[in-house]
Chain A
């Protein structure tokens, strides 16, 4: 037990700190990524998500085939995916951050995100074991197949499909996004400038492709270390149960503590840490409600955006793909209602 606890503590903290650091440097938030496709017609973060997915697909496939990790796509619980995904997407726009975005912003000193994180925990616990447990159970009753993926039931062929899709994706993104960006560079300018590497790593915002690749690598490393996908919502629940009931915190809880710490370190070094609060009280209330909706959505859909999109989609889980699409659609509905209708 003691060893297990230490392993979770040290492993979780190290992965969490790295993850939090990169989330803050890359401003990696799926709320911004999805919402701004329609709201600001801004695609950089969406591109980071795609690059992360491709990296994870290749990483999971290689280590899955090598027998280092056990791939485990989720079973398709269709109503859980649709309702949970939509509610999560609506919630994250209100909360001004997805599960991971909310967590890293706590480390930047944004008190509104702390409120959203509390809401996320509360909503998740309500749904997991509280007053909303029947709603969740009902929504998760219909299960299609056992571990359905995009190419039929999960099996020995799945990692091969993952590898093929990952490589095709890598080639396509390099051709359509990488080459034009390279061409724009002035002649003779090196790809990486080593003389100011410290500045680039610790003080500057990361370019979208760097963020995507590094997050993909961290997700793969996390899978190898814990033999499971990264998650956010479970970690918030773990931490709160540890504090309130004495349940011993495990891996996922230390990931959360690590993300907040890593983001704090990153923001502090770059001169971006400041305790701040929204000017408008209504914003705080919206963030709390958004957090609760995200908590309900994450437990109902068997995972937040990180677990489903960065964990399940690379394994081609149909459940995670549908959840991901519904999260995006939910965020578009709410972005339209909140920001676009009046224009």
Chain B
């Protein structure tokens, strides 16, 4: 089990807030911490993991939890 440090719920947010808010959030977090991102916007659900990896963070998991709902776990580098 992974210890989740913080949760960012961006469900209901419109393009590009889920992406922008996730990027801002990880900037403020410390190395090794885990961020849980809850998102319901398909484009962001696909792009956030890609963005996080390109920033050097580790995407621990990316699961579809329901109708248009995803849960992404990111470990800060």
Contact = CB atoms under 8 A, between A and B. Distances in A.
A271 interface: yes
A32 B20 contact: no
Given A274-B40, A274-B68, A276-B40, A339 B14 contact: no
B16 A278 contact: no
A339 B16 contact: yes
B15 A271 contact: no
A278 B14 contact: yes
A125 interface: no
Contacts of B13: 278-279, 283
Given A40-B47, A273-B67, A108 B15 contact: no
A274 B15 contact: no
B15 A276 contact: no
A336 B24 CA distance: 15
Contacts of A343: 24
Interface residues of A, number: 32
Given A110-B14, A278-B14, A339-B16, A205 B46 contact: yes
Q: How large is the interface on B (under 10, 10 to 19, 20 to 34, 35 or more residues)?
A: 20 to 34
Contacts of B20: 39, 339
Given A27-B42, A32-B43, A42-B47, A277 B16 contact: no
A287 interface: yes
B51 interface: yes
B42 A108 contact: yes
A40 B51 contact: yes
B16 A32 contact: yes
29 contacts: A27-B42, A27-B46, A29-B43, A31-B15, A32-B16, A39-B16, A40-B19, A40-B47, A40-B51, A42-B50, A96-B16, A101-B15, A108-B42, A108-B68, A113-B14, A271-B64, A271-B67, A272-B42, A272-B68, A273-B68, A276-B11, A277-B12, A278-B13, A279-B11, A279-B12, A279-B13, A283-B14, A339-B16, A339-B20
